[in-house]
Amino acid sequence: MKIIEIISDEVAYPPKFGSPTSLALQYGNLIFISGMMPWNLERNVVVPGDIEIQTRQALANMDAVLKAAGSSMNNILKITFYLTDIRNKQVVWKVRKEFFGENRPASTLVGVSGLVDPLALLEVDAIACKE
């Protein structure tokens, strides 16, 4: 098997902005998704200070990457949320339910002191599969 880089025109592509990372890599049926930030295509945080809109953007970015890989949010096996303020977890869970419904992948929620973009309130990474 070989490693395939996943690219989506709907998400800010890291190398375009000087980052040495990939959006996601596929190995066999597994898809490893890098940390999705609440960025628009210009790599700007959407609505600084609004955890609900930022969560929605980060998960929409993840959804776009999964679609580019021929998968979907329903195929996420493990997801990790990194929050700069753990008190925002209820809002994050609410938005998460919009994307996952009753699907419940293995999850971790971690409080962190900062992220690569100081205006970001969260980052989300995941491991998914293709059916």
Q: What is the pLDDT of residues 101-124, one digit of tens each?
A: 889 999 999 999 999 999 999 999
What's this model's pTM, rounded to 2 decimal places?
A: 0.94
Burial 39-51 (b: 16+ CB within 10 A, else e): beeeeebbeeeeb
Whether the per-residue pLDDT at 12 is higher than 80: the answer is: no
Whole-number mean pLDDT of the chain?
94
Whether the per-residue pLDDT at 1 is higher than 90: the answer is: no
Range of 71's domain? 3-129
- Residue 111's alpha-carbon distances to 57, 65, 92, 94, 108, in angstroms, are 19, 24, 13, 17, 10
> Domain containing 94 — which CATH number?
3.30.1330.40
Q: For 13-30, what is each residue's pLDDT tens digit?
A: 666 777 778 899 999 999
Per the structure, the count of domains in the chain is: 1
